[in-house]
Amino acid sequence: METKQNDATYNRPEGDRVLDGPLVRISIPDTIRQIKSEPAWLNGDRNAITLLHNDQLRLVLIALHQHATITGHAVDGASYIQVLQGRIWLETEIQSTSLDEGEGMAIAPGILHSVFAEQETVLTLTLAGLHANDQTT
């Protein structure tokens, strides 16, 4: 398996972060510190970084300021949201609920959902299957 690295971006000009390979080590605390030091976080209501990206799976770390919203959307594959810090309100077409630190929610393909940060929040979003390579999330 070939190792895949990210391309350089405005926020991350070094472009040397491993996104896929036989083994990918991820430091969540270091990555939280990184995204909270970038202009997107300092000047906006959120920031995110893709931690892993291959044909089967995508893992994204997202930091949301209090009251930030990820507007309603649905995806073609399975998703899992895990709250690492803070608290969100997850609204779906089936049920709406709060998720606290340490809690998560699996979302079936095609379910319309939105996220509202009740307080400053850090979460992971895991995308599996058909939409792991989708660039819209």
Tens digit of each residue's pLDDT (9 = 90 or more) over 74-107: 888 999 999 999 999 999 999 999 999 999 999 9
C-alpha to C-alpha distances, 127 to 16, 75, 81, 108, 132, nearest whole angstrom: 23, 9, 9, 11, 5
Does residue 79 lie in a domain region? yes
Instruction: Answer whether residue 45 is part of any domain.
Output: yes
Instruction: Name the region of 29 (left: φ>0; alpha: ψ -120 to 50; beta: rest).
Output: alpha
Identify the CATH number of the domain in which residue 49 sits. Answer: 2.60.120.10
- The residues, ordered by sequence, that sit 6+ positions from 97 with a Cβ below 8 Å of its Cβ are 89, 90, 105
Q: Which residues pair with 57 in a beta bridge?
A: 128
Tell me the pTM: 0.85
Selected residue with higher pLDDT from 58 and 130: 58
Give the CA distances from residue 4 to residues 15, 20, 40, in Å, rounded to whole numbers and listed in that order: 11, 5, 24
Range of the domain at 41: 4-131
In a domain? residue 137: no
Total number of domains constituting the chain: 1
The answer as to whether 44 is a domain residue is: yes
Would you say residue 104 lies in a domain? yes
Kindly report, residue by residue over 8-54, the tens digit of the pLDDT. Answer: 455 554 556 778 889 999 999 999 999 999 999 999 999 999 999 99
